[in-house]
Amino acid sequence: MLDLELDDQSDRRPPSHWESMKRRAFTLTGIGSLVAVAIAWTAGLVRYMFPRIRYEPPTRFVAGFPESYRPGEVDTKWQKDHRVWIVRRGDGIYAILANCTHLGCTPSWFGDERLFKCPCHGSNFTQVGDPVAGPAPSPLYRVSLSIGPDGQLIVDKAIQENRPGHRDRPPFRLTLDGNSRGDVPA
Amino acid sequence: MDPELPPVERTVSTEEALESIERARSWRERLVEAVTGSEIWRSVIRHGNPALRRNRSLAVVGNFFLHLHPPTVTRQALKFPHTWYMGGISFLLFLVLTVTGTLLMFYYVPDVGRAYEDMKDLQFAVSFGPLLRNMHRWAAHGMVVTVILHMIRVFFTGSYKPPRQFNWVIGVGLLILTLLMSFTGYLLPWDQLALWAITVGANMAAATPLIGHQGPFHELVGVQADSDIRFLLLGGTQVGQNALIRFYVLHCILLPLVAVLFIGVHFWRVRKDSGISNTR
C-alpha cells in the first residue's frame, strides 16, 4: 500500500531550527531570483517592442519658403507623402493634419466650396479646421510650424493642437509680417 | 429576569442585527468577497479550500498539464545516469525557441529585399534583439544535440522495447521534425551561408528516387527540374522569394504545430507506458 512506500521517510527526525531557517532562506532566494528574472525579462520585452528604427516618413520635414504658398489658398502638395495641408490665410500661415477627427480617414480639399470633406462618413471642415457637417466631434489638428535658419518652413507633426485660441498662436500659426526671417514680399 | 444582569436598554430585531454586521465589515472583506464570489473567479479556481486533502487531490486530477505528466515519478527515475535529463532539456529548449522565435517574428519580414536587413536590424538596432536572436540560434543548435543524446540514452537503456515501441516511433518523428525546423530556419537570415546551404540541401532532394529529377527511376515518373520534389520544396528551380516564404511558413507555423502535437502524444505515452525509467 501507499503507506509502505513512504516508510523510508517515517524515521526521519524533524529539521532543527537552523536547518529550517536554511531551507527557508534557500526557498526565498530561489523565489526572489525567479521574480527578479521575470521582472527583468518583462522590462526588456517592453523595451524590445519599441522600435528604434521606424520605416515611415519622419514626423519633421522641410516644407519650402513661406512665400511659396499663395495667400488664401490651401496647398495639398504634401498630402500624399506627409498627410499635411499648408494654409496661408490673412497674415498667417498654418499646417493642418489631413486626419479626420471622426475616425482618421483623409479628407479632401474642395476649393470651390472652401471645405475639407471626408469621404468616409461625410464630415466637412472649414479652412481653419472647424467641423461644420457630419459626425466629426472636434476641429482638425494643426501641427507645429517653425522657420529654419535658411528661412524655410519646418513642419513637426509630433506637436499637435486643435483648441481655438491655442491653435492661432505660434507654433501652430505663424504671422508673416514681413519682418520675420523668411520675408514675405508685400 | 436575572437581577445580576443590567436591564436591557433596547431590543434589536434580526434584520437590524444583520444590517449592523454588514456595516461593520470592512471594504477589504467586501472586495475580496466580490472578487472571489464572482462567476469568473469560481470558474477558474474550481476546487475549494486547499486545506482539505480531497480538494488538493481534485486540483491535481483536474489539471490538464499534470494529466500529461506521469502520476508518480520514482526516486530512482530522478537519478542523472538514468535519463541524462535530455528529454526535459529538449522540451525546455523547445519552449525557449517558441518564445524567442515568436518575438523575432515581430521584426523579421520574409521578403528577399528586407530579410537580411531585418536580421541585421535585430543584431544591431533593436533593443535586446541580439539577446533574443542569439538565444534562438544557440537553443536551436542545442536542441539538435540534446534530442540526439536523448535518443542515444533511450537506446542504451533499452527504453524502446515493449511496451514503448510506439513512443520510439513518435520520438523518431520528433527527431526528424527537429532537423527540419533547423533546416528551414537556416534559410531565413538570407545571407550567403543560408542561400548556399539551402541550395545544397534542396539539391539532395533532387536525388530522391522516382520523384527527384536526378534520382534513380525518375524517367519512370517523368519528373523534370520544374516538376519534381525539389521544385515543390523551393517553389521554383532555384532558391528565391517562393523558397523564402515557404521555409518561413514551414519554420514558424506548420512544423512547430506538428511538433507540439507530437510532443503532447510523446509525454502522454510516457505516462501510459508506466512513467519515466520505470521497468515495472
Q: What is this model's ipTM?
A: 0.76
Domain for residue B148, yes or no? Answer: yes
Subunit contact A48:B121, Cβ cutoff 8 A: no
Domain for residue B125, yes or no? Answer: yes
Quick one: closest CA in B to A47, which residue? B127
Q: What's the domain count of chain B? A: 1
Taking CB atoms and an 8 Å cut-off, how many pairs form between chains A and B? Answer: 24
Q: Is B156 on the interface with A (CB under 8 A)?
A: no
Interface test with B, best of A5, A9, A48, A55 (most B CBs within 10 A): A48
Domain for residue B159, yes or no? Answer: yes
Domain for residue B149, yes or no? Answer: yes
Domain coverage including residue B123: 68-272
Kindly report the CATH number assigned to the domain that includes residue B98: 1.20.810.10
Domain for residue B22, yes or no? Answer: no
> Half-sphere exposure of residue B85, counting CA atoms within 13 Å on the CB side?
6
Quick one: closest CA in B to A51, which residue? B126
CB contact residues (below 8 A), chain A span 20-59, against chain B:
44-45, 47-53
- Could you tell me which of B205, B182, B149, B189 has the C-alpha nearest to residue B256? B182
CA distance A10 to chain B (A): 16
CB atoms under 10 Å from CB of B237, counted, come to 14
Q: Do residues A69 and A91 make contact, with C-beta atoms less than 8 angstroms apart? A: no
Chain centroid to Cα B229, Å, comes to 30
pLDDT digits (tens, 9 = 90+) for B215-263: 999 999 999 999 999 999 999 999 999 999 999 999 999 999 999 999 9
CA distance A7 to chain B (A): 14
The whole-model pTM stands at: 0.77
Q: Which pairs with CB-CB distance under 8 Å and at least 24 residues apart come from B206-209?
A: B206/B230
Q: What is the mean pLDDT of residues B111-135?
A: 96
Domain for residue B206, yes or no? Answer: yes
| pLDDT higher than 90, residue B166 | yes
| Mean per-residue pLDDT over chain B, rounded | 91
Q: Is A2 on the interface with B (CB under 8 A)?
A: no
pLDDT digits (tens, 9 = 90+) for B94-107: 999 999 999 999 99
Domain for residue B5, yes or no? Answer: no
